Amino acid sequence: MFTRTESFREFVRFYPMVSIIVTIHLVLYLLTILPIFPNNWFFENFSGVNLYIMEGEVWRLITPTFMHSGFSHMLFNSFSLILFGPALERMLGSGKFLFVYLFSGFIANLATLLLEPLTYTHVGSSGAIFGLFGYYIAIIIFRKRMMSQQNSQIILVLCAVSLIMTFLQPNINVSAHLFGLLGGFLVGAIPYFNKKELSDSIQTTTFWASSQRKKVSFQSPIKVLIWATVIILAILGFWR
């Protein structure tokens, strides 16, 4: 479920929304380092600055979700999204996945506005990514058949480790992490699927997981090594 076996073209075709979000991460990062715009123009206009939000720049409740403070910040968050986003996009569809992602990011940024000082400045997609974990936890609690016990354990362990590191590492937006997680969980707990949609989702997920298992056995050692490296980098990103 969280092991990627697709080629690049297959990944883009199967998970368009994850691909678009990661592309936005990369493009915005490049625009912040290339001498196309004045120094720090993107950070000055799109980062989360509580004072400016209070003065009416409400787009800053969304745009910080796509901005990052450096290459490693952008890289690790993008790797995390590549690892944990596709399965959820497959379950929900691209539109609902985007809603969960943006809603979680919005709640994270709103909590930052309400709980942090007016001078507080922040960027990063961690709040939205925690929202994906929150949605997974809602699935584990309310729709157990949609995830195997092994995958459920992976999500719970990673979520627990990430929460612990949230409080241990410096320069972490604790409010965004906690409320992003809560936002994703609340969306996942709302029974907006009717019985037919939930049944279709379970069948689609089961078929997809089965097909993935069949494909894994035919993967080359190089591809397995590449994705193992990606997983290690994502875990290191949480520890950072």
pLDDT at 215: 43
pLDDT at 141: 87
Domain around 29: 8-239
Which of 126, 152, 162, 201 is the catalytic position?
126
Q: Which residues of 99-138 are buried (b: 16+ CB within 10 A; e: fewer)?
A: ebbebbbbbbbbbbbeebeeeebbbbbbbbbbbbbbbbbb
At residue 122, what are phi and psi to the nearest 5 degrees? -150, 155
Which of 68, 73, 122, 177 is the catalytic position?
177
More confident residue, 237 or 183: 183
Count structural domains, the chain.
1
Identify whether 207 is part of a domain: yes
Identify whether 84 is part of a domain: yes
Identify whether 2 is part of a domain: no
Which residues, 6 or more positions from 228, have their beta carbon under 8 angstroms from its beta carbon?
Answer: none
pLDDT at 35: 79
- The CATH code of the domain that includes 207 is 1.20.1540.10
Q: Are 129 and 84 in contact (CB under 8 A)?
A: yes
Identify whether 154 is part of a domain: yes
More confident residue, 190 or 210: 190
Which residue in this structure is represented by tokens 């994270």?
Answer: 108
Identify whether 190 is part of a domain: yes
- Distance between CA 95 and CA 132 in Å, rounded? 14
What mean pLDDT value characterizes the chain? 82
Identify whether 41 is part of a domain: yes
Identify whether 72 is part of a domain: yes
Q: What is the pLDDT of residues 84-127, one digit of tens each?
A: 999 999 999 999 999 999 999 999 999 999 999 999 999 999 99
- pTM for the predicted model, two decimal places: 0.79
Which residues, 6 or more positions from 77, have their beta carbon under 8 angstroms from its beta carbon?
Answer: 25, 68, 124, 125, 126, 129, 237
Identify whether 3 is part of a domain: no
Is 68 among the catalytic positions?
no
Is 126 among the catalytic positions?
yes
Q: What is the pLDDT of residues 50-89, one digit of tens each?
A: 999 999 999 999 999 999 988 999 999 999 999 999 999 9
